[in-house]
Amino acid sequence: MRYAAGPLVAHLREAIALNRARRAEYAAVGGWRAGVLSRLLVGAERALVPAARALDRQAAPFERAGVPVVSGALRPMTEAPPADAPVVHVAGDARRARRVAARALGPAVRDARRHVRHKRFAEAGDVLAGAARELRRVEADARVHLALAEHVVASAAVASRVGAMCAGASGGRSAPVTARFVRGHLALVGLALRLDAAAHAVRARGCGLFVHDLPPVRA
């Protein structure tokens, strides 16, 4: 019997399809580097599918009971901006922006992990929402897009807050799902920052790689 995709696997498959569909257009604008980075992103997304499938299975009893411990934290990929939308922050120093962002995120990620370890999901969500706002400030000040990193952090904040509500609705039984979900996001922050920095050169050519490939998430 074929396994029906859960919400997180379905979300990743939608992201993979979107990124593959946009690759040729991005390569035409941003050159070979855009194509390589697009392939790296798709490769990372594909690598996440087995873990996403395991999480979906763990979450399935709660989802069936109307407790959206995973699905409630996801935005549809159809909400991503058009590939040819303007790219705003292209004039800054990507390496410096990455260093500034990493220093800003370090304490927040450590605090969030501690809160998650003790199942304090609302507190983790507040910390991560603040970190997402700080990343947007760094973007504006440094004139460098940090789109992937900001998306990962903001999504972790939303997953934490949704998890807090679901833990209340499930008598705490959904907490292990949320802990796994949020920790998975936090493990991707460093990679997201590196990919953002690597994409800066193609964004300077007007290529919206990563910037326009994500549905907006506001924690």
Instruction: Examine the pLDDT at 219 and tell me if it is beyond 90.
Output: no
Contacts of 63 (CB under 8 A, 6+ apart): 6, 7, 69, 70, 71
The string of DSSP codes covering 140-165 is: HHHT---HHHHHHHHHHHHHHHHHHH
- Other beta carbons within 10 Å of 129: 20
**Segments making up each domain of the chain, as ranges:** 7-203
pLDDT digits (tens, 9 = 90+) for 45-104: 999 999 999 999 999 999 999 999 999 999 999 999 999 999 988 889 998 999 999 999
**Over the stretch 113-172, which tens digit does the pLDDT of each residue have?**
999 999 999 999 999 999 999 999 999 999 999 999 999 999 999 999 999 999 999 999
